[in-house]
Chains A and B, each alone.
Chain A
Amino acid sequence: MASKPNFVQISEAQFRTNFSDLHPPLGDNAAVVEASRCLFCFDAPCTIACPTHIDVPKFIKKIATRNVHGSARTILEANILGASCAKVCPVDVLCEGACVMNHHNEKPIQIGLLQRYAMDWADQRDYQPFAAGNPNGKKVACIGGGPASLACAAELAQMGYDVTIYERKPLAGGLNTYGIAEYKLTPKDAVRETERVRHLGVKFECGVEVTDHIGEATGKAKAPATQRSISFRELEDQYNAVFIGIGLGETLDLKIPGEDLGGVVDALSFIEEYKTRRTKCRVGKRVAVIGAGNTAVDAATAAARLGAAEVRMVYRRSEKEMPAFAYEYELAKRDGINFNWLTQPVRIHGKKHVEKLECVRMELGKPDKTGRRRPEPVPRSKFFIECDMVIKSLGQTKFEGFLQGILHLNRAKDGRVMVDEMTYQTSNPKYFAGGDCINGGQEVVDAVADGKKAAHGIHGWIQGLG
């Protein structure tokens, strides 16, 4: 590492400042005042817009009467991951975007912050509102320890199921623990939330990878020899039903020369590294992030906050086509990120380590099948971007090969697992699925909603079997 002078590191104190809460919590009085603004709409649109259908006016009114206990319970009843959702939900396009106040020329009610207020209350006293149901003798396995599985397991446990979560990583929580920007959610808080699920009697087998019968695991990296594993076949034998909540696979490759040079990393590994190793994570002085989605923004802002002097996002389409949410783009701009629009990287140069990125300029041609105008290279427009680090962020793969180990499991062309709309059952009746692996990558709250609904699908199916 010492041989790479163009890398920087920050102190623990700087880390804490740079990654402190994006939206600081409301104080007691501010929460009551904000809660009192809520109109208490009938059949409220905010509740409809929340994928888990938290009864928003109900929990807000309880804050207004200082019944924070009841408020927390109302939230957790609908969404066992209410604490992380309060911090990570893109509320502008969910509950707050639907708030009637938007039509009133007023700021929408700060639902996310109020939800956080009630959830902080719950976390301060390790509040456990629910208990396991009477054991019904049925067993369910959940593959993956992310939001989808956690929600599914919590729901099933309350109905009396004996549930085991298999997670290949050392900690549960999925991307909540390893992927969400640190200034939104810390791994500590994400893991604490999984305790609420453990409290319901759900068993966690962390560090255990589920493999197909041939032994292929989900990741490219070979599991360490000590890592335990369990196969689909074994799960099928031991459990009445299996829930697939494995999320998405690795970051897509750029498929350009130079990708294997030192200093070229993928966004997810980079994010996981800084979240787990904190100040030990070194970042290039000049960083180029390739892609312009929400994950790319997360990687870029993280690089900037880790001390990179110059961070740019390189995207082959224009600002208008940028897939990141508007407020994520705003955040990137506030963090001083530069943007190279209409720029296509074609090669990464360097001896052992990245030195520069060769790019061509693009222009927008005719619309493609997604309706976005297709970028086309401008002839003889080659140029270079000097950089010490390249972060790839072109989206994630689906777990193709691995899932072939499940018999008769139908998947869409793009690799997503297909499920029944109502029951979340897959084409193999023993398997149900939810979260990123069925929707191709949406939000935590969508995964929670899927997991919850799948739990009821599983319950219905097992009951039907008698």
Chain B
Amino acid sequence: MADLSITFAKKIKSPNPFWLASAPPTNSGFQVMRAFEAGWGGAVWKTIGEPIVNTTSRYSSIDYNGVRMMGFNNIELISDRPIEDNLREIYEVKKRFPHHAVIASLMVESKREVWHDIVKRTEDSGTDGLELNFGCPHGMSERGMGSAVGQVPEYCEMITAWVKEVAQTPVLIKLTPNVTNIAAIGRAAKRGGADGLSAINTINSITSIDLQDLTPRPKVRGKSAHGGYCGPAVKPIALNMVSQLTCDPEIQIPVSGIGGISTWQDAAEFMLLGCTSIQVCTAVMHYGFRLVEDMIDGLSNWMDEKGFKTIEDFRGLSLARMTDWGNLDMNYKIVASIDPDKCIGCDLCHIACWDTAHQCIHIEGEGREAPTRNEREAAMNFLQPPVHHPLTVHEPILHSRGITNQNIGISGNGGARRAAPPITPLHASTQDAPPALRSNRVPYVDEEECVGCNLCWLVCPVEGCITMKEVDTGLPEESWNKRLKRLSQTAE
């Protein structure tokens, strides 16, 4: 079995890369110990500082197609428990779990001596490292803390430096995504002496509004405030921000990846973009600590399959495959290809391509041929509408009465109706036409017109039914940057 253990910033050791993020799941020693028993490798304690008062009603979320909490929002502040209680419990956890990583998250007033004091007190509790919360986007920022610090590189650098003056353990800076250039903040932290970065914190958000009483959520006596967004919905944003940090030649310190991680696949992706550890909050708030079992199991099975013995064997491997758009090969061509045996005839690819892409997926006998170039141009000039382009809704004219098991593919004696014969037509003797067979609902791709955008493949509900096939253009690899270079050379 693969070795999942890691060492973060040379000093923080953890049996696996899965840490709980600083949030309600790490609010107390009781919870953190339960989490370690369930298999979590580390925990970043709920942010410690002068105890605050929270509002009740603090969370709201976005559901998607019946699945709860696709995106999650909170207006909670830092720990509401006294500093000494938190520190005593950190001490107890470390005593019971000496080989797990416990990192204390801190946020105090932006004063040098206040920071010095809290750092010393915290390190006395035996914590393995410190994480400075420069990311919280609500409540604390209005008091000059959290993202108010994380959004200004100079503050970020200054406070990091104050902490480093006294800290004995590694110092991680937790970054806010609510900035235009996260790498600039990461560089400031590095200049201040940070040993590592954690990214991302939550994204400013308003999740939804109650359309009955018109109040945004979460509601606090008829009012709401913007909160911080997290959960599965933010993963793509987090991955991009993490890669901006790990790609930056000036930064090059360990990163703990956070944002929408719920599975071992998500975790692997963050690590492939260079993260040493990952942190999870929303997913455990949804399902509990037991979630880590499959994260460990799935990751180690995948590593065994791929032949990776340690995390370091694959960490950052996808970074080499990230580049600027200007370096992508413009002579690479793929086209969509539909497997008629797998197609179920939903025709979603057809309408997606027809209405919103390049009009190159057709249905047999539908009379929908792609408008020719001339027709398109004519339509653009308002001279005449494209001839083959039906603007009316397709009126289904076929009738149910021919339905049998065979042509609609169901089991049982589907053909039997209360009485078999169809209505007797007075004049004509034709029976009602049978319903559309699946075979004549299978669309086909006009490969000449297909631009290989992937849309139909993304839309198709059947795995492996549409594949994007490479076609040989016979042209050499050429990126936009290369082409500019070539053109400027020929111009000279």
Contacts and interface: CB of A to CB of B under 8 A. Distances in A.
B80 to A, nearest CB: 33
Contacts of A420: 425-427
A41 B347 contact: yes
B425 A421 contact: yes
A327 interface: yes
Contacts of B409: 102-103
Interface in A67-119: 92-94, 97-98, 100-104
Contacts of B66: 29, 32-33, 36, 64
Interface in A421-466: 421, 425-427, 438-443, 446, 450
A370 interface: yes
B400 A94 contact: yes
Nearest to B63: A32
Contacts of A325: 412-414, 416
A418 interface: yes
A171 interface: no
Contacts of A197: none
Interface stretch (B1-9, B188-196, B434-442): B434-442
Contacts of A440: 419, 421
Most buried by A among B401, B410, B413: B413
Interface in A11-62: 29, 32-33, 36, 39-43, 45, 47-51, 53
Given A42-B350, A48-B436, A101 B413 contact: no
Contacts of B412: 92, 325-327
A225 interface: no
B416 A324 contact: yes
A41 B412 CA distance: 24
B152 interface: no
B96 interface: no
Contacts of A322: 413
Interface string B387-419: 000000010101111010000111111111111
Nearest to B64: A36
A416 interface: yes
B455 interface: no
A42 B65 contact: no
A293 interface: yes
Given A47-B396, A323-B416, A419 B425 contact: yes
B474 interface: no
B419 A395 contact: yes
B399 A51 contact: yes
Most buried by B among A93, A420, A443: A93
Given A416-B423, A420-B425, A104 B351 contact: no
A138 B415 CA distance: 41
B410 A97 contact: yes
A104 B409 CA distance: 11
A42 B408 CA distance: 17
Nearest to A439: B423
B74 to A, nearest CB: 23
A164 interface: no
B436 A421 contact: no
B344 interface: yes
A460 B65 CA distance: 44
Given A42-B347, A49-B400, A421 B413 contact: no
A149 interface: no
B428 interface: yes
A21 to B, nearest CB: 22
A92 B410 contact: yes
B418 A294 contact: yes
A325 B425 CA distance: 26
Contact of A441 (B399, B411, B418, B438): B418
Contacts of B418: 293-295, 441-443
A94 B414 CA distance: 9
Interface string B340-371: 00001111101100000000000000000000
Contacts of B65: 33, 36, 64
Contacts of A427: 426
B396 A43 contact: yes
Interface residues of A, number: 57
A322 B350 CA distance: 41
B428 A326 contact: no
Contacts of A42: 346-348, 350-351
A443 B417 contact: yes
B340 to A, nearest CB: 11
A50 B400 contact: yes
A211 interface: no
Contact of A97 (B396, B398, B408, B438): B408
A240 interface: no
Contacts of B413: 322, 325-326
Contacts of A426: 426
A256 interface: no
Contact of B346 (A41, A324, A416): A41
B424 interface: yes
Contact of A45 (B425, B428, B441): B441
Given A419-B423, A419-B426, A40 B435 contact: no
B5 to A, nearest CB: 41
B420 interface: yes
Interface string B431-468: 00001101001000000000000000000011000000
A1 interface: no
A443 B414 CA distance: 14
B422 interface: yes
A412 interface: yes
Nearest to A50: B400
A293 B420 CA distance: 12
Given A97-B414, A98-B435, A442-B418, A421 B428 contact: yes
Contacts of B400: 48-51, 94, 446
Contacts of B441: 45
A324 B418 CA distance: 7
Contacts of A269: none
Given A49-B435, A92-B410, A418-B425, A441 B351 contact: no
Contact of B408 (A43, A98, A104, A326): A98
Nearest to A416: B424
Interface in A218-248: none
A39 B403 contact: no
A104 B410 contact: no
A293 B398 CA distance: 27
Contact of A94 (B345, B403, B415, B420): B403
Interface string A323-337: 111110000000000
A410 interface: yes
A104 B344 contact: yes
Nearest to B425: A421
Contacts of B344: 100-101, 103-104
B67 to A, nearest CB: 8
Contacts of B430: 421
A72 B253 CA distance: 59
A394 B376 CA distance: 62
A439 B438 contact: no
Contacts of A33: 65-66
Interface string B470-482: 0000000000000
Contacts of A43: 347, 394, 396
A90 to B, nearest CB: 8
A438 B414 CA distance: 22
Given A100-B345, A294-B418, A412 B435 contact: no
Given A47-B396, A450-B423, 9 more contacts: A29-B66, A49-B435, A94-B400, A322-B413, A326-B414, A419-B423, A419-B424, A421-B427, A439-B419
17 contacts: A41-B345, A41-B347, A48-B396, A48-B435, A49-B400, A49-B435, A53-B396, A93-B403, A93-B417, A98-B408, A100-B344, A100-B345, A323-B416, A324-B416, A325-B412, A421-B430, A438-B424
What 6 A-B pairs come out closest when comparing CB atoms?
A: A326-B412, A33-B66, A36-B65, A42-B351, A103-B344, A42-B347
